[in-house]
Amino acid sequence: MEFYDEKIKALAIEIYELDAEVYKKLGSSLGRVFGGEKDICIRNIMEDLHSRQNSSRIRSELALISNMARTIPDHDTRHDIMVRYNNIVEEIAELPTGFADGDILDPKIADLNTVNLKDRFKTGDHLIICIGRSCGCGGNEIGFALADKLRMNFYDVSVMNEVFRQKDGEEAAQATATFQKKERMGIKKRIKAFKKYHGLSSEDVLFFDTSKFLVEKAKQEDFIVMGRFADAILTNNHIPHISIFITAPEKRRIQRFLEINKNVTPNQAKKWIESEDKRHLKTYKFYTGRKWSKASNYDICINSASYGIKGSIELIIRMLQLDDRVKQLIE
Amino acid sequence: MEFYDEKIKALAIEIYELDAEVYKKLGSSLGRVFGGEKDICIRNIMEDLHSRQNSSRIRSELALISNMARTIPDHDTRHDIMVRYNNIVEEIAELPTGFADGDILDPKIADLNTVNLKDRFKTGDHLIICIGRSCGCGGNEIGFALADKLRMNFYDVSVMNEVFRQKDGEEAAQATATFQKKERMGIKKRIKAFKKYHGLSSEDVLFFDTSKFLVEKAKQEDFIVMGRFADAILTNNHIPHISIFITAPEKRRIQRFLEINKNVTPNQAKKWIESEDKRHLKTYKFYTGRKWSKASNYDICINSASYGIKGSIELIIRMLQLDDRVKQLIE
């Protein structure tokens, strides 16, 4: 403990002196960060270093000093001071009370979403990318082109529907259709659909089929899956995956919808986009208990209006360190 | 036009034959994607190729074929078929009606948020990264450490407050304090504060000061700025920047808040985090007219619970292709 106190005191003095030094070199009109009486300043710094709650204060003070230090014109002086500054930051980071860096990493989430895919591949898991997207943002195009670029299988509702149809006959496919048309069904039809699937609603049948399908595929291959609550299904089944949400400002999505669908009025486009967003919100909530489109429910969200379709694909490849994979595939 | 029709027909035949070929090689129990009468199938494909609205159908059909093709055991056969498949995809992409890839890129947003920083630097603009974050997600730690790693200046509310205080005396600094304490102020005090700043509310004074400060800094240097509606301020002033929002699930943020603040009860932590989120939502809306924390208002959002503090820093560096910059700085 005594050693620790000594260390804190030594650090506080170093910080005080660094500030004084920077001020001396610059003669800055901004004055010094620690302009008061030396002993009082050092005592204040020590107090801040002693408590994690105050770490943001220390951080801001250091930022002020280093922001100024970077403006020192003479290269050698600047370099010496920045070396001292870096040492101080490193030493603070090593203090048990230093900076509030109690990590935010959630091991439960992180295990499923490792940023470093090289580590993940070691374990023999497949690379699975779940892409959620809002209507009209180009998310489907991004997912499809990404799958092609990475030579991974691609599953969206139509592909899965087709697989179900070919595997199990018409039943599951009808469930998908029913699922998509639920809003337009009368109560009688809904009861009929409900009875048809052994007491399970047709939506539930589809949900279970999708779960079974994805869990099975995850054992066999790398793939990209669009929507279908895949992120929630895989999380529930403890299957590692990366979840990405792609969206764009509503105004831009409406504009693009109009560019693609020439026979639609702006009002119709707006209504369609908004009703699709609502539908997604509702069904995602129902099956996952989570809020669709909320950033903290995904690993990353991308604004496709900022990057475009090609740019978003590049961004994902770069982010997931899949550059090497692409290179290998092209060679 | 005639040439175009010919091309569509040739493509439709190619797709039909590719499907047949894959089926032949695999003898798949899933059957063929186009299992009906040849002429009808080709006519259907042609119709889909003729219309952009139906591009998602073609895309799903192609995904089905290629998903199957990738399972062909013999390497050479698989390779030949995938080459044919890739050619088809490329040719479709070149059709004016091919795939719904009316790009989602919004030039107005994209100009301000270029993904390729190398291009941006050419124009002489500075690299400005705006980081918004929800309370307790480690966003401050990420921003601070990122600034240090990239040797960029770092501005958060405390740093700016200090700069204002040292520059313009106490007035602006008080505005910040007032701004942060608004909720706790009585009506009398608020009127007093309002009068003090020449008819502008103290919040408005701070907003204008911050605007002025950021616009000025943007001409001089690269920097990272935390919160302060910086993204909206820079957008309004047509200053290129990258906007990142960092968040994590509320549950994890509360947990971390408790780890850092030992003398707080779980209930207090929850209340604090939720009231901070609400405060951010309200003031951001007031000054920008936009919804705080909504993914489409940022270039990218990162879930820090998935990547942790270090991982999030790495992710941002990788994403913005700043790896080289880091390498240069370390050398």
Question: According to the model, what pLDDT value does residue A165 have?
Answer: 75
Q: Stretch A322-326: mean pLDDT, rounded?
A: 79
Residue with tokens 């129902």: A286
Return the SS3 of A224.
strand
Question: According to the model, what pLDDT value does residue B185 have?
Answer: 52
Give ipTM to 2 decimals.
0.80
Question: According to the model, what pLDDT value does residue B181 have?
Answer: 55
Contact at CB, A245 and B299, closer than 8 angstroms: no
Question: According to the model, what pLDDT value does residue A158 have?
Answer: 83
Question: According to the model, what pLDDT value does residue B298 have?
Answer: 94
How close B270 comes to chain A (CA, Å)? 16
Residue predicted with more confidence, A76 or B167? A76
Residue among A147, A262, A248 nearest B52 (CA): A262
According to DSSP, the residues that pair with A153 across neighbouring strands are A223
pLDDT digits (tens, 9 = 90+) for A118-157: 444 456 688 999 999 999 999 999 999 999 889 899 999 8
Looking at domain B107-152+221-330, its CATH superfamily turns out to be P-loop containing nucleotide triphosphate hydrolases (3.40.50.300)
Contact at CB, B106 and A252, closer than 8 angstroms: yes
Q: Taking a C-beta distance cutoff of 8 angstroms, is the pair A150, A326 a contact?
A: yes
Q: How far is CA A79 from CA A57, A62, A66, A69, B205, in A?
A: 25, 16, 11, 9, 37
* Among A110-114, A121-125, B122-126, B291-295, the range of highest mean pLDDT: B291-295
Mean pLDDT of chain B: 82
Q: Taking a C-beta distance cutoff of 8 angstroms, is the pair B330, A82 a contact?
A: no
pLDDT digits (tens, 9 = 90+) for B55-72: 778 888 888 888 888 888
Q: Across the interface, which of B52, B63, B250 has its CB nearest the CB of A260?
A: B52
Question: According to the model, what pLDDT value does residue A120 have?
Answer: 47
Q: How many CB pairs below 8 A link A and B? A: 261
Residue among A23, A61, A26 nearest A42 (CA): A61
Residues A187 and B272: their CA atoms lie apart, in Å, by 45
- To test the contact with chain A by mutation, choose from B66, B104, B231 the residue with the greatest count of A C-beta atoms within 10 A, namely B104
Chain A CA closest to residue B96: A260
Q: Stretch A220-245: mean pLDDT, rounded?
A: 91
Half-sphere exposure of A288 (CA within 13 A, CB side): 25
Residues B283 and A308: their CA atoms lie apart, in Å, by 30
pLDDT digits (tens, 9 = 90+) for B12-64: 999 999 999 988 888 765 667 888 889 999 998 998 888 767 777 888 888 88
Contact at CB, B103 and A138, closer than 8 angstroms: yes
Residue A195 has pLDDT above 60, yes or no: no
pLDDT digits (tens, 9 = 90+) for A260-304: 888 899 999 999 999 999 999 999 998 888 999 999 999 999 999
Residues A232 and A228: their CA atoms lie apart, in Å, by 9
Q: Stretch A188-193: mean pLDDT, rounded?
A: 56
Helix, strand, coil percentages for chain A (3-state, nearest 5)? 70, 10, 25
Residues A203 and A172: their CA atoms lie apart, in Å, by 10
Domain positions in chain B: 2-94, 107-152+221-330
Residue predicted with more confidence, B71 or B271? B271
* Among A107-111, B56-60, B94-98, B143-147, the range of highest mean pLDDT: B143-147
Q: In B, which residues are within 8 Å of A53 by CB distance?
A: 260-261
Question: According to the model, what pLDDT value does residue B177 have?
Answer: 55
pLDDT tier at B114, thresholds 50, 70, 90? very low
Q: How far is CA A132 from CA A250, A302, B329, in A?
A: 16, 10, 37
Q: Stretch B261-282: mean pLDDT, rounded?
A: 93
Residue A105 has pLDDT above 90, yes or no: no
Return the amino acid letter for A330: I
By mean pLDDT, which of A67-81, B109-123, B286-300 is the weakest? B109-123
Residue A192: phi and psi, rounded to 5, are -60, -45
pLDDT tier at A28, thresholds 50, 70, 90? low
Q: How far is CA A55 from CA A45, A94, A95, B140, in A?
A: 10, 13, 11, 11
pLDDT digits (tens, 9 = 90+) for B72-95: 888 899 999 999 998 898 888 777
